[in-house]
Amino acid sequence: MSDQIRLANRQDEKEIRELTESLYQASAQSFSLEDQDNDLRNIEGNYIGPGGIFLVYELDGKLSGYLAAACNNENETIEIKRNGFAPSCVNPSPAEVYGRMLAVVRNHAYQMDIKSVLIDDSNTKVFQKDFQ
């Protein structure tokens, strides 16, 4: 078994959308690229270009998860906006992979001189890590 966390790119967008749609269907939610999910149309432009980061998790060469973080305009805060993991992602667990991805986001924030990382869980701010 081989796994890796890497930066997403345009070629990953289709697989990311498919994974997101399957996760939505499993929880009886609707997926809409025209509405709430339109940020998945241009990952590089919506996340990476403006100082954010979009990571993908590959397990045995297959995209099995992702984490997206967007930077606010003042580059004061980077906020986790999206994450998802395929049901087949069990070893390591999604929680383990999420922790590894958060470490990458924290390092990115540090390198970009961003003051805090904010995790938004269902629109409820549950954690903020200040670097000062």
Q: How far is 28 from 39, CA to CA, in rounded Å?
A: 20
127 phi, psi to nearest 5 deg: -160, 135
Percent of the chain scoring above 90 in pLDDT: 63
Q: By residue range, what is the domain housing residue 49?
A: 3-130
Q: What is the pTM of this model?
A: 0.87
C-alpha dist (Å) from residue 116 to 16, 38, 43, 70, 87? 26, 25, 22, 12, 30
Average pLDDT over every residue of 39-56: 91
CA 101 vs CA 5, 28, 61: distances in Å: 7, 27, 17
Question: Whole-number mean pLDDT of the chain?
Answer: 86
Which pLDDT score is estimated for 122? 55
Q: Is 94 helix (H, G, I), strand (E, B) or coil?
A: helix
What's the structural domain count of the chain?
A: 1
Q: What is the pLDDT of residues 3-45, one digit of tens each?
A: 999 999 999 999 999 999 999 998 889 999 999 999 999 999 9
Q: Is the pLDDT assigned to residue 64 strictly greater than 90?
A: yes
CATH number, domain containing residue 89: 3.40.630.30
